[in-house]
Structure 1
Amino acid sequence: MHTVTPDFRIFTEPQQGATYDDLLAVAKKTEQLGFDGFFRSDHFLKMGGVSGLPGPTDAWTTLAGLARETSRIRLGTLMTSATFRHPSILAVQVAQVDQMSGGRVELGIGSGWYKEEHTAFGIPFPTKLFDRFEEQLAIVTGLWDTPKGVNFSFKGEHYELTDCPAFPKPVQTQLPIIIGGSGPTRTPAFAARFANEYNAAFPALDGLAQRFQTIRDACEEYERNPADLVHSAALVVCVGRDEAEFRRRAERIGRNPGELREHGIAGTPTEAIDQIGRFSRAGVERFYLQVLDLHDLEHIELIASDVVAQL
């Protein structure tokens, strides 16, 4: 396990209703306040009882814009769905945005899960999701790892590439790949084989240390140093200077205050600091703080000044 001070990234869900300008404002505030990164989901259909207006934005189009309008923060997805893009095209897109950012991009990628979203947009929702995902990972990493001047070929059950030129390359020697999920077998294997970071999405504190141990065990099985893999968690954040402000923010995002305290980083700044400490002791080295009200920039300022700065 790493023994480093946790870093903090702002994580957004634009499919719930946000424009590019909304995301730009949050990203600039994220950079100004000293957070480590700005990440966004990769969805095209809203979830829950929100309007979703003015409609979805594309994750990698957004990140390309932010790559030119920020200068320091890391940029990436939690998580790009492997069902949305052909892996060779995804490799080109991500490498290009990495070039546009000067080497600040990270690829969070998952197998895909939201069937209603696929139905709404006419995207095939395949069987054998994990088999297809494994081939995606092999192709994306294979294209980036192929030496310059050498073509890349791949033949699998779902994808076949013949003499692909394997360009462009990311600026980073090894562009970080983030893999998440709670499966007990294949997810740990994928993380050990392909990832630089394992992410637990909205985990319960009880059992999190054991989940991280499963990832370390998989690394050892594949003869990889477990300390090479960052352990992170995505958690909803909702903080108020006092109880009344916290409850107002909880109401605006349609969440129960008690449920937020149980499952997220929530309450007063003192409570939030205590919750972060508990997750850190369970092994979380990096926190993705899910901000659901993207128009409340004062909330992000409070998290920076009264929570993160105090740690």
Structure 2
Amino acid sequence: MDEDFRLRIFTEPQQGASYDDLLRVARTAEECGYDAFFRSDHYLRMGDVSGLPGPTDAWVTLAGLARETSRLRLGTLMSAATFRLPGPLAVSVAQVDQMSGGRVELGLGSGWYEQEHTAYGIPFPPLRERFGLYAEQLEIVTGLWTTPEGSTFEYSGEHYRISDSPALPKPVQRPRPPVLVGGTGRRRTPALAARFADEFNLPFVDQDTAVAQFERVDAACAERGRNPADMVRSVALVLCVGRNEAELARRAEAIGRDVDELRANGLAGTPAEVVDRIGNWRARTGITRLYLQVLDLSDLDHLELVASEVAGALD
């Protein structure tokens, strides 16, 4: 596989997974040579699933995995700004970065799933306010990390005030861990990405949508005098690969999806089909990272198949 292109495993534990389930997936991903293990940051199931045994916290999970893996990058797609205050979030992520030896990445979003907020007593303000919280959190978290040791950090915004902060602890990665921004917002999202993001991610979109949004991000970078080539482009797509049609159908059924729909909208088919599909995505959109959404966390053979017969065939 092209050494500049990365395949990453992306999990959705709110659909039903314990920490031990996630640890098995992460260890398998590391053994198989994947670049990273990412997880969603949600507290409530989506759709017609039980969600048992119940949600796990994203950064508690990643702290555990930081000590039980040795090479994988670890991160979130995406942590919600509504879930945490920016100062404690900066502390948590910096600590997990230390615990992992410098392998953490922070994906941060505005938060969107109202029901999980209601279910766990988390305030859910209107979108305009959520986006304001989000923008200020990006500024504060990155500011705390990059403040020189011995100096203090100050911030006065509409939503947060910070005074005389020692801006500690520092992450291992300097000047800071990579920050991911994503989404299809046409104006504010590309502008925030241009200011703060090392990587721009698009989840579950078609190629036309991806091309148009990446162009907006490039334009926002250029407007700030930033080289658009410095921004990593990535997408997340659901994964369903089978050695033959029977295996493919079995895996699709296990995640409650239709094979034809998955072929149209995700990464589905035989290994050869998926290699071609990834090649098309790369040629059309310029992505250099691909997050493989793995929904059946008990099927470790799925990860091994993709590692051996897809990753190894990518140019």
* Local SS of the residue matching 1:136: helix
> After superposition, where does 1:39-188 map in structure 2 within 5 Å?
39-127=38-126, 128-173=129-174, 174-188=176-190
Alpha-carbon deviations, 1:252-288, whole Å to 9, x = none? 0001111111111101111111110111012211000
Corresponding residue of 1:267:
269
CA distance in 2, matches of 1:93, 1:178: 16
* Contact 1:88 1:139 survives alignment (8 Å): yes
Of 228, 231, 243, the match for 1:229: 231
Q: Is the 8 A contact 1:176 1:197 kept in 2?
A: yes
Contact 1:13/1:292 (<8 A) preserved = yes
Among candidates 184, 194, 197, match of residue 192 of structure 1: 194
* Matched letter for residue 142 of structure 1: G
The CA deviation at 1:222 is: 0.8
| Counterparts of 2:290 and 2:62, CA distance in 1 | 20
1:302 paired to 2:305: yes
Q: Secondary structure at the match of 1:206?
A: helix
The offset of 1:6, in angstroms, is: 1.6
Whole-angstrom CA distance in 1 between matches of 2:255 and 2:219: 38
Aligned twin of 1:255 = 257
What is the CA–CA distance in structure 1 between the aligned matches of 2:199 and 2:119, rounded to whole Å? 31
Q: Which runs of 5+ in 1 are unaligned?
A: none
Q: Residue 286 in 1 paired to residue 285 in 2?
A: no
Q: Deviations over 1:123-156 (max 9, x none)?
A: 0001211111111111001101111111111111
Q: Is the 8 A contact 1:239 1:265 kept in 2?
A: yes
Cα distance between partner residues in 1 of 2:219 and 2:3: 21
- Residues 198-217 of structure 1 mapped to structure 2, 5 A cutoff: 198-217=200-219
Distance 2:212 2:40 in 1: 26
Cα displacement string for residues 27-77 of structure 1 (whole angstroms, at most 9, x for unaligned residues): 000000000000000000000011000000000000000000000010000
Amino acid at match of 1:302: L
Q: Which residues of structure 2 form unaligned runs of 5+?
A: none
CA distance in 1, matches of 2:286, 2:163: 42
For residues 96 and 16 of structure 1, what CA distance do their matches in structure 2 show? 27
Aligned partner of 1:222: which letter?
Answer: R
May I ask how many residue pairs the two structures share in their alignment? Answer: 309
- Superposed CA offset, 1:231-258 (max 9, x none): 0001100000001100100000001111
* Cα distance, 1:300–1:275 mapped onto 2, change above 3 Å: same
Length-normalised TM-score, structure 2:
0.97
Deviation at 1:5, TM superposition (A): 3.5
Q: Distance in 1 between matches of 2:209 and 2:148?
A: 41
Q: CA shift at 1:207, angstroms?
A: 3.1
Distance 1:284 1:255 in 2: 26
Structure 2 distance, partners of 1:263, 1:284, is 17
Q: Which amino acid aligns with 1:156?
A: G
- Retained in 2: the 8 A contact 1:6–1:280? no
What one-letter code is carried by the residue in structure 1 that aligns with 2:143?
G
Distance in 1 (CA, whole Å) between partners of 2:286 and 2:212 is 10
Q: How big is the shift at 1:4?
A: 6.7
Which residue of structure 1 lines up, in the alignment, with residue 24 of structure 2?
25
SS at match of 2:207: coil
- Verify: 1:37 aligned to 2:40, yes or no: no
Post-superposition, which runs of at least 4 consecutive aligned residues in structure 1 deviate over 2 A? Answer: none
Q: Percent identity, please.
A: 63
Code of the aligned partner of 1:162: S
